[in-house]
Amino acid sequence: MLKKIIVTGGDGRFAKELRKFKSKYNFFFKSKTQLNILSEKSINNNLRKFRPDAILHLASLSRPMSLHEKDINKSININVIGTANLVKACNKKKIKIIYLSTSYLYPGKKGNYKETDPLLPWNNYGWSKLGAESVVQMYKNSLIIRACMTEKPFVHKKAFTNVKCNFIFHDEFIKILLKVLKFKGILNIGGKSQTIFQFAKKYKKNVKRKVSNGELPSKIYMSLDKVNRLLKK
């Protein structure tokens, strides 16, 4: 039974939102200085001290996306090797790992992607997350969440009219997350399938229209059938 959970990336944007929620879980939020995922010693020290039932792995390199093209070593170290270090530690201690992945793993050509559909990332960020996922999938006591979310309020001045995804704000995402932590396997989690402009316009009336010329694939939206079935149980 999950009760005590260490959270990596505990000082990040999403973790700060998670801190606001009350739940049955006892989260231990750890910054990158408190838990260095590139240091096996740091990881093991935290596991000995807190004796968690699971690790919620949020720490990653994401923005700016161009960084993953300019500095692949940093991308590999943080997103792939750091995750591998955590998986090895979880395997040794026989505790669960919950990994926050991304919808960017899907090719973005047909849309309505199920968890079992073939993966083909379209940028280096996606490849780094797929590398991490590959390691997590080797360890069966795991949950991988392919997320499509953004912070509130919508920060961009322009939004794509020709890119359809499952954007959901962090707070709404967390409500779902807290209900599915007990499961294993892979889950897509996001909001209603719609264009980014349609999503943004609801919350930011002055958002401007923008057309993607290859920055994002046009159909990166996922099927949420699996998570919806689990939530009904």
Q: Where are the domains of the chain?
A: 4-152+167-192
Per-residue pLDDT of the chain (233 residues; tens, 9 = 90+): 899 999 999 999 999 999 999 999 999 999 999 999 999 999 999 999 999 999 999 999 988 888 999 999 999 999 999 999 999 999 999 999 999 999 999 999 999 999 999 999 999 999 999 999 999 999 999 999 999 999 999 999 999 999 999 999 999 999 999 999 999 999 999 999 999 999 999 999 999 999 999 889 999 999 999 999 999 98
- Residue 232 CA to residue 1 CA, distance in Å, equals 20
- Whether 163 contacts 212, CB under 8 Å: yes
Which phi and psi (to 5°) does residue 112 adopt? 55, 45
Backbone φ/ψ region at 16: left (φ over 0), alpha (ψ -120 to 50), beta: alpha
Angle between helices 124-137 and 82-93 (to 10 degrees): 10
What is the pTM assigned to this prediction? 0.96
Backbone φ/ψ region at 207: left (φ over 0), alpha (ψ -120 to 50), beta: beta
- Whether 124 contacts 165, CB under 8 Å: no
The model's pLDDT over 176-232, given as tens digits with 9 standing for 90+, comes to 999 999 999 999 999 999 999 999 999 999 999 999 998 899 999 999 999 999 999
The CATH label, of 1.20.120.80, 3.40.50.720, 3.20.20.70, 1.10.10.10, for the domain at 4-152+167-192 is: 3.40.50.720
- Whether 61 contacts 37, CB under 8 Å: no
Task: List all residues 6 or more positions away from 1 whose beta carbon is below 8 Å from its beta carbon.
Answer: 53
What separation in angstroms does the CA of 81 have from each of 73, 130, 134, 136, 149?
10, 12, 11, 11, 24
